[in-house]
């Protein structure tokens, strides 16, 4: 659908729109116009007087810029830097008006080239032919003019000052115009005829006319109306421009933010129309009562009816009608004020809800992180304790069996000693020596065992069994903790993904600043150094959106929101790349020097 917007502004030193600041004023050269021209065109311009460069080359979305000169203008004014420095030099006053800016909304039903043609024709007929120099630039952050919408539903649309703020996301053009008449030698006197209201009204009408001719030439039913809604006799709120992408999604049944906004405006307009119809009905009834009373008075009949009517309304019929109308107006104003209060409250509640959700996600993440650290520490302890218990049981069992062997050896020697005869004296001495040695070894082993383990070797089987049970319990606990760690990591990954989704959506919402302010107020200061480190680590993980998570978030979102996020990320990456290139260039330059 066609969108009409045209606004006129003055760029002046007295308006506070300086891009340079107090230092430039003190240097004696006023660069507001130059700075503004640099911003609109996205070029890197150099102001002569104070040797300051206004660099906006990193500004995205500028798809075309061009200067159109009158026939008698110096050819060197085709250079943007030369042109606006000449304007600055000509103006001496501290409150001088430097340029006039006209901002117009472009139609997405037309291609970029078609919008260029429309702008050139409009500028030539309305400004350049009058003697102004025009410097215009086209902004299209979303690339909407590369694939214009066609065949949209018919309708006449208008955008007044109440909805002007919504046009910024749509393609638009900035037209900067000089304020002085130009001669082959430079700028002359200011032309006050260009300041008249009649000129502005003609510019507004001509912009609608030239676009409507293009609509008609392309066989489209859209039309622009330069008049305000009030001038059109329409008591309704203006809707915003849908754009061809949102319009295509809405036709497929996919709700968009712009569609929801327009539906809400439509609902309020219908409510207003219903209230207006009810008001008209009541007024008609009051007028009918007045006419009946007047007729009764005129015919000298119905005296009783007149008294009853007066008693019923406690005043004259004319006063009753006036009071009725005033009461209707008062109720309408109260309802309108209440609607605004409700809207603000709803926006605040939505911001609070989003901030609360993000805060809870963050707190849950930190709580899981604390649990994860504790579990990791416990798992580390288990990993150390389980082999220690295993080795202890094995060592204990080994020594206990060794003692049992020594005991068996001593018992065997004693049995062999008893089988020796009376006459085997020499063998008995050797056997006694061996038995003494075996018993000594047994006693030494038993002493060492008790000293090392703290209990007698006879208790070893029960102790070993207990130690083995401890090892199995710790191993089971380790497996459980490892499973819990895996679950925590999965939960953290889900929380991070949800937080990233909330953060990305919050950044593209109109109340994003309020959301992040509320989120900041909800933060609890850490009590210990460890808590502070945990919070810092959590902030890094939650606020660092990886490409993998970005893609996962896109998969969970509706197509309109996904497209907005992709465009926003592309702009951020381009900005970061430009910054990196500048840093690299500066480093190479410093290295060369």
In a shared domain, residues 593 and 459: no
Please check whether residue 517 lies inside any domain of the structure: yes
Asked whether the predicted pLDDT for residue 523 surpasses 80, the reply is no
As a whole number of angstroms, the distance between CA 494 and CA 500 comes to 10
Judgement on whether residues 460 and 522 belong to the same structural domain of the protein: yes
One domain, residues 178 and 80? yes
- What span, in angstroms and rounded, lies between the C-alpha atoms of 344 and 340? 6
- Mean pLDDT score, 201-224: 88
pLDDT the model gives residue 399: 84
Return the sign of the alpha-carbon dihedral for residues 245, 247, 252, 255.
positive
- Decide if 195 is inside a domain: yes
pLDDT for 78-104, tens place per residue?
987 788 878 877 877 767 788 888 888
| pLDDT computed for residue 68 by the predictor | 93
Q: Which of 256-270, 282-296, 446-460 has the highest mean pLDDT?
A: 446-460
Q: How confident is the model at residue 49 (pLDDT cuts 50, 70, 90)?
A: very low
Instruction: With a cut of 70, say whether residue 400 has pLDDT above it.
Output: yes
Say whether both 307 and 239 belong to one domain. no
Task: Provide the pLDDT confidence category of residue 76 given band limits of 50, 70 and 90.
Answer: very high
Do 201 and 240 share a structural domain? yes
- pLDDT at position 478 over 80: yes
Please report which residue ranges of 102-152 form alpha helices under DSSP H.
112-126
The answer to whether position 69 is within a domain reads: yes
Q: H/E/C letters for each residue in 321-336? A: HHHHHHHHHHHHHHHH
Q: How many domains does the chain have?
A: 4
Whether residue 425 is predicted with pLDDT greater than 50 in this model: the reply is: yes
Q: Which of 22-26, 45-49, 255-259, 359-363 has the lowest mean pLDDT?
A: 22-26
pLDDT of residue 568: 78
The closest alpha carbon to 177, from 6, 9, 5, belongs to 9
Give yes or no: residues 103 and 208 share one domain: yes
* Domain coverage including residue 587: 558-593
Residue at 12 is within a domain: no
Q: What is the pLDDT of residue 157?
A: 42
Q: How confident is the model at residue 153 (pLDDT cuts 50, 70, 90)?
A: very low
Specify the pLDDT at position 390. 76
- Does residue 353 fall inside a structural domain? no
Q: Which one of 254, 285, 308 terminates a domain?
A: 254
Query: Are residues 337 and 470 both part of a single domain?
Result: no
pLDDT tens digits, one per residue of 114-145: 999 999 999 999 999 999 999 888 888 777 77
- My answer on whether 201 and 302 are in the same domain is no
Q: What are the two backbone dihedrals, phi and then psi, of residue 428, each rounded to the nearest 5 degrees?
A: -65, -40
Long-range contacts of 49-53 (CB under 8 A, 24+ apart): 49/24, 49/85, 49/88, 49/89, 50/20, 50/23, 50/24, 52/20, 52/24
The average confidence (pLDDT) of the chain is 75
Looking at residue 129, its pLDDT comes to 94
Q: Which has the minimum average pLDDT: 46-50, 412-416, 447-451?
A: 46-50
Give domain status of residue 451, yes or no. yes
Task: Give the pLDDT score at 389.
Answer: 78
Residues 189 and 295 in one domain: no
Residue 206 sits in the same domain as residue 288 = no
197 and 294 in a single domain? The answer is: no
Q: Is residue 27 in some structural domain?
A: no
Beta carbons within 10 angstroms of residue 578's beta carbon = 13
Q: Residue 509: is its pLDDT beyond 70?
A: yes
Contacts of 575 (CB under 8 A, 6+ apart): 58, 60
Which range, of 24-33, 329-338, 340-349, 537-546, averages the lowest pLDDT?
Answer: 24-33
Q: What is the per-residue pLDDT for 113? A: 92
User: 545 with 562, same domain?
Assistant: no
Task: State residue 9's pLDDT score.
Answer: 83
At 256 the three-state DSSP class reads coil
């Amino acid at each position: 659908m066609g969108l009409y917007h045209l606004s006129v502004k003055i760029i002046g030193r007295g308006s506070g729109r300086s891009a340079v600041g107090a230092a430039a004023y003190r240097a004696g050269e006023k660069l507001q116009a130059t700075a503004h021209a640099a911003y609109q065109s996205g070029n890197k311009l150099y102001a002569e007087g104070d040797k300051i460069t206004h660099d906006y080359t990193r500004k995205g979305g500028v798809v075309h810029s061009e200067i159109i000169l009158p026939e008698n203008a110096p050819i060197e004014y085709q250079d943007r830097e030369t042109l606006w420095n000449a304007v600055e030099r000509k103006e001496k006053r501290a409150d001088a008006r430097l340029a006039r800016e006209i901002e117009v909304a472009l139609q997405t039903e037309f291609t970029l080239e078609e919008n260029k043609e429309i702008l050139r024709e409009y500028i030539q007929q309305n400004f350049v032919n009058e003697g102004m120099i025009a410097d215009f630039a086209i902004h299209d952050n979303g690339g909407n003019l590369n694939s214009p919408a066609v065949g949209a539903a018919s309708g006449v649309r208008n955008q007044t000052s109440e909805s002007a703020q919504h046009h910024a996301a749509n393609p638009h053009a900035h037209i900067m115009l000089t304020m002085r008449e130009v001669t082959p030698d430079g700028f002359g006197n200011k032309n006050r005829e260009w300041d008249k209201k009649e000129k502005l009204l003609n510019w507004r009408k001509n912009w609608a006319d030239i676009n409507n001719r293009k609509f008609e030439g392309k066989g489209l039913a859209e039309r622009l109306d330069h008049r305000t809604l009030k001038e059109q006799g329409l008591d309704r709120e203006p809707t915003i421009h849908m754009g061809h992408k949102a319009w295509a999604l809405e036709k497929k049944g996919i709700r968009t933010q712009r569609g929801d906004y327009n539906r809400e405006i439509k609902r309020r307009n219908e409510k207003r129309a219903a209230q207006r119809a009810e008001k008209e009905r009541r007024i008609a009834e009051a007028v009918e009562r007045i006419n009946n009373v007047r007729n009764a008075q005129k015919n000298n009949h119905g005296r009783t009816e007149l008294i009853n009517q007066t008693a019923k309304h406690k005043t004259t019929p004319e006063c009753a009608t006036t009071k009725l109308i005033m009461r209707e107006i008062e109720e309408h104003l109260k309802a309108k004020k209440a609607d605004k209060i409700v809207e603000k409250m709803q926006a605040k509640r939505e911001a609070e809800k989003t901030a609360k959700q993000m805060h809870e996600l963050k707190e849950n993440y930190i709580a899981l992180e604390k649990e994860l650290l504790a579990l990791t520490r416990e798992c580390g302890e288990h990993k150390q304790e389980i082999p220690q218990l295993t080795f202890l049981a094995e060592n204990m069992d080994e020594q206990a069996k060794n003692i049992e062997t020594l005991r068996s050896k001593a018992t065997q020697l004693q049995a062999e000693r008893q089988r020796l005869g009376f006459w085997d004296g020499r063998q008995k001495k050797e056997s006694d020596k061996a038995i003494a040695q075996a018993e000594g070894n047994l006693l030494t082993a038993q002493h060492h065992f008790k000293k090392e383990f703290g209990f007698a070797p006879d208790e070893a089987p029960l102790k070993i069994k207990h130690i083995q049970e401890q090892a199995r319990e710790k191993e089971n606990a380790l497996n459980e903790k490892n499973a819990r760690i895996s679950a925590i990591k999965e939960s953290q990954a889900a929380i991070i993904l949800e937080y990233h989704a909330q953060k990305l959506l919050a950044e593209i919402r109109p109340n994003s600043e309020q959301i992040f302010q509320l989120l900041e107020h909800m933060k609890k200061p850490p009590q210990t150094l460890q808590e502070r480190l945990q919070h810092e680590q959590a902030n890094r993980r939650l606020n660092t959106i990886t490409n993998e998570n970005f893609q996962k978030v896109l998969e969970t979102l509706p197509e309109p929101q996904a497209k907005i996020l992709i465009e926003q990320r592309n702009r951020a990456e381009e900005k970061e790349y430009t910054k990196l290139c500048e840093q690299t260039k500066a480093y190479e330059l410093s290295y060369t020097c």
